[in-house]
Structure 1
Amino acid sequence: MTEYTPGAQRPPAPPHRPATPNRSTGPSLSTLNAIVWALVVVDVVLIGIAIAMAAQFFSGPSSNQVADDRTPGSSSPAPDSEPDGSEGQEPDAEDLADITGAETFTTPTGNIICTISSTGVVCSIAKLNDTPEENPNGCEGFIGYVVELRSSGTTLPCIPKSELPVAAGDGIEVLEYGDSKTVNNFVCESSNTGMACEDSNSERGFKLARAGITTH
Structure 2
Amino acid sequence: MAGALAGLSRGLKIFLVVDLVLVVVLGVTAILVLGGNSSTDDQADTPQTPTTSSSAPADTATTAATSEGERRFASPTGNIACDLTGEGVTCTIANTSVEAPAIDGCTGAGTGHVITLNADGVDTPCTDQVPGAAGADVDVLQYGSSETVGDYTCTSGSNGMTCVDGGGVGFRIATAERVVLP
Could you tell me how far 1:101 is from its partner in structure 2?
1.0
Task: Give the superposition deviation at 1:137.
Answer: 2.5
The Cα RMSD (Å) is 1.8
SS in 1 for 2:82: strand
User: Within 2, Cα distance between the matches of 1:189 and 1:121?
Assistant: 12
Between the aligned partners of 1:211 and 1:144, the Cα distance in structure 2 is 12
* Amino acid corresponding to residue 205 of structure 1 in structure 2: G
| Matching residue within 152, 156, 161 for 2:120 | 152
CA displacement, residues 117-160 of structure 1 (integer Å, 9 cap, x when unaligned) = 10000001000125547x85210214311100002211110011
- Give the match for residue 95 of structure 2: 127
Report the 3-state secondary structure (helix = DSSP H, G, I; strand = E; otherwise coil) of the residue aligned with 2:104: helix
Distance 1:110 1:130 in 2: 18
CA distance in 1, matches of 2:160, 2:153: 14
The aligned counterpart of 1:109 is 77
Deviation of residue 205 (structure 1)? 0.3
Q: Could you list the per-position Cα deviations for residues 57-113 of structure 1 after superposition, in whole angstroms to 9, with x for gaps in the alignment?
A: xxxxxxxxxxxxxxxxxxxxxxxxxxxxxxxxxxxxxxxxxxx71110000000000
Maintained 8 Å contact 1:153/1:204 = yes
Residues 144, 212 of structure 1: 8 Å contact kept: no
Unaligned runs of 5+ in 1: 1-99
- CA distance 1:130–1:197, shift in 2 (3 Å): closer
**Which entry has the higher C-alpha Rg, 1 or 2?**
1
Aligned length: 113
CA distance in 1, matches of 2:145, 2:70: 18
Structure whose residues are more often strand by fraction = 2
Contact 1:132-1:144 within 8 A present in 2 as well:
yes
The TM-score, its normalising length taken from structure 2, stands at 0.58
2:130 is aligned with 1:164:
yes
Equivalences for residues 7-26 of structure 1 within 5 A: none
Distance 1:204 1:130 in 2: 21
Map of 1:176 onto structure 2: 142
Cα distance in 1, alignment partners of residues 87 and 98 from structure 2 = 31
**Runs of 4+ with >6 A deviation:** none
Residue 138 of structure 1: SS of its match in structure 2?
A: coil
Tell me the distance in 2 between the aligned counterparts of 1:165 and 1:107.
14
Question: Which structure 2 residue ranges, 5 or more long, are not aligned?
Answer: 1-67
